[in-house]
């Protein structure tokens, strides 16, 4: 899709530590390796990626607002903010761009406090529990949803 807007892939707190942080839960791949896989999958779909990570909630909100005009869709792994951030929830609802919540692990199979997703309540859908493959599935969903969205 030449000229198509990119898919934003936004990552929240502690995801910069992937590969070393609790690999029994999050796997051994680094965030850079996940980024490379996302870029490759998007390329196969004729799409491009803007891939970012921040430990700062407000920066994630700013990027979601930027996506309103600059992105075709958003893949969001908000990390722990998934369960606490009304600000991210509200930003998702405000931007009018499809947002796919994604997680490496399955939050529903973990601690009870992870069972509520404020992000998921505002997102188009959720893909979780497939390790790094969750990101690739979310890229595919984002590409399909952005084709359905008005320009």
Strand segments, DSSP code E, in 13-146 are 49-53, 73-77, 99-103, 125-128
Give yes or no: 26 in active site.
yes
* Residue among 8, 89, 103, 135 flagged as catalytic: 103
How far is 77 from 120, CA to CA, in rounded Å? 10
> Could you give the angle at which helices 57-70 and 86-95 cross, rounded to 10 degrees?
10
Helix (H) or strand (E) holding 9: strand 7-11
* Residue among 8, 26, 81, 135 flagged as catalytic: 26
Q: Are 126 and 102 in contact (CB under 8 A)?
A: yes
CB atoms within 10 A of CB 107: 19
Active site residues: 26, 103
């Amino acid at each position: 899709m030449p000229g198509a807007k990119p898919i934003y892939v936004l990552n929240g707190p502690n995801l910069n530590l992937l590969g070393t942080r609790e690999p029994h839960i999050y796997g051994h791949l680094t965030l850079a390796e996940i980024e490379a896989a996302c870029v490759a999958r998007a390329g196969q779909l004729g799409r491009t990626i803007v891939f970012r990570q921040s430990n700062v909630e407000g920066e994630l909100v700013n990027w979601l607002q930027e996506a309103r005009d600059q992105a075709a869709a958003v893949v969001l792994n908000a990390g722990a903010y998934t369960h606490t951030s009304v600000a991210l929830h509200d930003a998702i609802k405000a931007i009018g761009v499809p947002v796919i919540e994604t997680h490496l692990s399955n939050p529903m199979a973990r601690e009870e406090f992870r069972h509520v997703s404020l992000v998921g309540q505002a997102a188009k859908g959720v893909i979780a529990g497939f390790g790094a493959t969750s990101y690739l599935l979310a890229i595919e969903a984002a590409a399909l949803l952005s084709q359905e969205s008005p320009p």
